[in-house]
Structure 1
Amino acid sequence: MIKRGFFYYSRTLESLTPRTLAAQKARVFLLFPEGDNNFMVFKIGWFSTGRDKAARDLLRTIYNSIKIGEINAGLSFVFCNRVLGESEESDRFLKMVKDYDIDLICYSSKDFNPDMRRMGMTNPVVLEKWRRKYDNEIIKRLAKYTADLNILAGYMLVVSSKMCEKLDMINLHPAAPGGPSGTWQEVIWKLMDLRADRTGVMIHLVTSKLDEGPPVTYCTFPVRGPVFNKLWNNLNRRLKDKSLAQIMEEDGERNELFIEIRRHGFIREQPLLIKTIKAFAEGRIRFENKRLFMGNEAIKDGLCLNEEIEACICDQNNSTQTAKAPYR
């Protein structure tokens, strides 16, 4: 039955439009990610801790883009460093992956050599050894899979140098090149502390240094102007009597400036990720020996996609599709 279904797709491909053809290829790949097929589908490996709604939204967006043929690629596997029962949020993520019928590999970083990891919290040498040991176990578990590109989307571990050498990996980071490192929450508080004028979203090559790999693609946007000025003024007024740490403690993620910065970053994350994966899948950009190339040209500082991303946001607004940031 599977083979008959597969050959049915093969026989009908010549009559399909390019967009429909990509969609059919994607459906076949989603059904047979490692099976016998004749399609040279670009294969994606996906790494996530699945710690929040944002992690689910990113995977859902890429899955749907593949399914409709917007991205001519397939998801080879999803790796999660949590197992069922570690948290409600990651459990939701794992259920979603299973519902999508994507191969899921789980291996708990929390339960892996916990004494060594605890020692590593105060000893960088020990921590790097722990990372290498843990990543060795990941590599073993992924041995039967192939991926042309591996995407870290909400993966909350620093990757070892060995893993970086073995795999081409990109990471979605909620700041512009040269901006703050850390989670999106940490980035926003740092931007507020720095009284930043601009920020952005970046996809960068993963290295063993947290959020410091060379940029692949990025977009930027202002955090000043009509929408923001009143919120900055409110913050500055409160800072006369309190420290930013006290405001963080009182407001948490309910702070109005925090919310607005997050909203503007969030609506750019998914379009940037889609356009980046699409460019890799279509061969317009590629990695060679950990360097980014477009054609024969090496791209040192990444590709700025401001115009393309702003056009996507305008299209979303025109379609009355309002994106809401996952604050929790």
Structure 2
Amino acid sequence: MGFRLGWFSTGRDEAARELLRVVWRKIKEGFIPAQLSFVFCNREKGEEEESDRFLELCKRLGLFTLTLSERKFLPDLRRRDKEAWRAAYHKEVARLVEPFGADVIMLAGYMLIVSPQMCRAFPMVNLHPALPGGPTGSWQEVIWKLISEGASRSGVMIHLVTEELDRGPVLTYCSFPIKGGKLSALWREVEGKGVEEIRREVGEDLLLFRVIREEGVKRELPLIALTLKTLAEGRMKLKEGRVLDGEGRPVSGIDLTEEVERALREGL
């Protein structure tokens, strides 16, 4: 049996569907030599229009799909003790997905924080919209921090999921400039202004904010596809919370910037 990939998603928007579509296509084309063993969604059919679209996509692609509604799962416990609920919920999720024996589980728009127990039990990887060592949090929080710091570069990384949010060992990353060229004029628009003032007056409609987001988003798909290809071909391995190369030696974040930029030019 070849490399088995598991897929976790809340399926909350078009981006979540596009991630799944592209990876499914790249597997079918042979670019990623893997089998998409299952898809797990923390919403059931009928809960949200967007997640219904996601589940319908899974059906059309012929993917084995598992669901467990977070909303319906022990709601009283969730109100009383979120950490206990998180552990109980993911214990049940683990029971559902364990028989599939996935070599790696990709979190792709999965909006729950995974329990520590599940982090330790399964090799799980996540995409984070920042460079290694960069800002943590949601993509919105990351961009505001970049603007606040006047950062000159940003990036996207894929890391091992651990108990420390967005700080697990890095598998791969790519970087891109967010200053200079056409962006210089956009930075001048925010000179002398604090981030809180900008957020209050303009918010996410700020052109600089939108451009940084667009530059990151368009690199996410190539980075995911290239990383999964590297894992499926055995050129990178995950073992006991560590990232290793094909020979079993520890590695710390492979820079795939050149490969990602080439993929963008070639229309991955």
What TM-score results when the alignment is normalised by the length of structure 2?
0.94
Partner of 2:186: 231
Q: Report the aligned-residue RMSD.
A: 1.7
1:245 Cα deviation after fit: 3.0
% identical aligned pairs = 48
Partner of 2:94: 139
Aligned length: 268
1:295 Cα deviation after fit: 2.8
Distance in 2 (alpha carbons) for counterparts of 1:194 and 1:262: 16
Distance in 1 (alpha carbons) for counterparts of 2:41 and 2:252: 30
Report the AA paired with residue 68 of structure 1: E
1:144 Cα deviation after fit: 2.8
Distance in 2 (alpha carbons) for counterparts of 1:82 and 1:186: 25
Partner of 1:49: 10
Distance in 2 (alpha carbons) for counterparts of 1:62 and 1:131: 28
Q: Which has the higher contact order (CA 8 A, sep 6+)?
A: 2
Q: Does 1:248 align with 2:209?
A: no
Distance in 2 (alpha carbons) for counterparts of 1:226 and 1:170: 34
Deviations 1:188-243 (A, max 9, x none): 12212222111100000001221111111001111101121111111225x2xxx5
Q: Does 1:173 align with 2:128?
A: yes
CA contact (8 A) 1:158 1:209 kept: no
Matched position secondary structure for 1:236? coil
Partner of 1:73: 34
Partner of 1:98: 59
Note the 1:1-328 alignment, pairs <5 A: 40-119=1-80, 126-236=81-191, 239=193, 243-316=194-267
Matched position secondary structure for 1:204? strand
Partner of 1:26: none
Distance of aligned partners of 1:88 and 1:273 in 2 relative to their CA distance in 1, 3 Å threshold: same
Deviations 1:238-291 (A, max 9, x none): x2xxx5334324434322011110111111111110110001111111112221
Distance in 2 (alpha carbons) for counterparts of 1:41 and 1:250: 53
Distance in 1 (alpha carbons) for counterparts of 2:189 and 2:79: 41
Distance of aligned partners of 1:250 and 1:105 in 2 relative to their CA distance in 1, 3 Å threshold: farther
Matched position secondary structure for 2:79? helix
Distance in 2 (alpha carbons) for counterparts of 1:205 and 1:75: 19
Higher-Rg member (1/2): 1
Matched position secondary structure for 1:226? coil
Partner of 1:25: none
CA contact (8 A) 2:243 2:252 kept: no
Distance in 2 (alpha carbons) for counterparts of 1:235 and 1:61: 36
Distance in 2 (alpha carbons) for counterparts of 1:96 and 1:253: 29
Give unmatched runs, 5+ long, in structure 1: 1-39, 120-125, 322-328
Distance in 1 (alpha carbons) for counterparts of 2:72 and 2:135: 30
Matched position secondary structure for 1:298? coil
Distance in 2 (alpha carbons) for counterparts of 1:100 and 1:305: 29
Distance in 1 (alpha carbons) for counterparts of 2:203 and 2:71: 26
Give unmatched runs, 5+ long, in structure 2: none
Distance in 2 (alpha carbons) for counterparts of 1:166 and 1:108: 21
Q: Which runs of 4+ in 1 moved over 4 A?
A: none
Deviations 1:12-41 (A, max 9, x none): xxxxxxxxxxxxxxxxxxxxxxxxxxxx22
